[in-house]
């Protein structure tokens, strides 16, 4: 079959990721536990998620915390890139540990990329993605119900949510591959600029609020939130672990950025 005649096609359940069909450069293969889909380089929208009747690649079909349409791959034309957008409630974790939150968008580079949806039910759902490189035309790699809210969503007061949103701003914006928490002074500045602020905040008061939330989660069994657990030097590790737990459970999401002022500097 000529490359130009290669149509989008289903891959049967159990298709091994190291033996997908030959395909032209730019073809995307997306594999889930029930099979997958292959699309050549052309304008296309490919969906994955829980609702097997409404997506190309079903994943987490028996897990109500996975969204019915959890993610979408799009390509504008034959010469463009494949883009991944998280349209689900829970984050999509990339191999480098980066969490794609709802609405975050990322180019899928050539090669193999495993995507993981970590359910709040402590289950993980794998979606395997392969974009054929120009030098490798034979890719090789190592239901209608509403989406349920994650079982572990931590309760935050409005002011706690405001402080933690400011602390996690770079994570929520999704612009940095390896974001860091805001410094305490920057967190206080962002909070004080919010139209939802109810008092004047200092670097000490935002740090104390973050510590209170961290201790609350520690008592609920979340690991990695104390100095004894992470060891020295601590640096920003405690805040990073707290932010990742709040993102993983969708306690914080990109919509919380609306709490901050439009001009975030």
Q: Tens digit of pLDDT for each residue in 101-114? A: 999 999 999 988 99
Pick the range with the lowest mean pLDDT from 21-25, 42-46, 142-146, 187-191: 142-146
Q: What is the DSSP string of 154-213?
A: ----HHHHHHHHHHTHHHHHT--SS--PPPHHHHHHHHHTSTT--S---HHHHHHHHHHH
Q: How far apart are CA 82 and CA 44, in angstroms?
A: 9
Q: How far apart are CA 194 and CA 208, in angstroms?
A: 19
Averaged confidence pLDDT in the chain: 85
Instruction: Render pLDDT for 175-227 as a digit per residue (tens, 0 to 9).
Output: 777 889 999 999 999 999 999 998 999 999 999 999 999 999 999 889 999 99
- Residue 1 has a pLDDT of 35
Q: How far apart are CA 218 and CA 61, in angstroms?
A: 31
Instruction: Render pLDDT for 87-145 as a digit per residue (tens, 0 to 9).
Output: 999 999 998 788 999 999 999 999 889 999 988 767 899 999 999 886 544 433 334 45
For residues 67-91, average pLDDT: 93
Residue 4 pLDDT greater than 70, yes or no: no
- Residue 175 has a pLDDT of 77
CB-based contacts of 234, cutoff 8 Å, min separation 6: 227
For residues 151-158, average pLDDT: 79
Q: How far apart are CA 253 and CA 190, in angstroms?
A: 17
Q: How far apart are CA 236 and CA 210, in angstroms?
A: 12
């Amino acid at each position: 079959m000529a490359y130009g005649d290669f149509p989008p096609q289903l891959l049967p359940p159990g298709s091994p990721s190291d033996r997908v069909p030959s395909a032209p450069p730019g073809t995307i293969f997306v594999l889930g536990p029930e099979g997958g889909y292959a699309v050549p380089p052309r304008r296309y929208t490919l969906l994955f998620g829980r609702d097997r009747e409404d997506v190309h690649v079903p994943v987490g079909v028996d897990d109500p915390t996975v969204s019915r349409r959890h993610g979408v791959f799009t390509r504008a034309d034959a010469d463009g890139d494949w883009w991944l957008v998280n349209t689900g409630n829970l984050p999509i974790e990339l191999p480098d540990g980066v969490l794609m939150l709802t609405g975050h968008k990322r180019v899928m580079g050539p090669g193999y990329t495993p995507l993981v949806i970590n359910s709040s039910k402590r289950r993980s759902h794998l979606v395997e993605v392969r974009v054929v490189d120009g030098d490798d035309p034979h890719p090789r790699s190592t239901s209608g119900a509403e989406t349920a809210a994650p079982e572990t969503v931590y309760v935050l007061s409005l002011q706690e949510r405001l402080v933690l949103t400011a602390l996690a701003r770079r994570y929520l914006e999704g612009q940095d591959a390896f974001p860091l928490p805001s410094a305490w002074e920057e967190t206080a500045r962002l909070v004080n600029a919010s139209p939802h602020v109810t008092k004047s905040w200092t670097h000490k008061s935002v740090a104390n609020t973050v510590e209170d939330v961290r201790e609350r989660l520690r008592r609920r069994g979340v690991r990695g939130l104390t100095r004894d657990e992470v060891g020295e030097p601590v640096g920003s590790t405690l805040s990073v672990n707290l932010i990742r737990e709040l993102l993983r459970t969708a306690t914080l999401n990109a919509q919380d950025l609306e709490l901050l002022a439009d001009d975030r500097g």
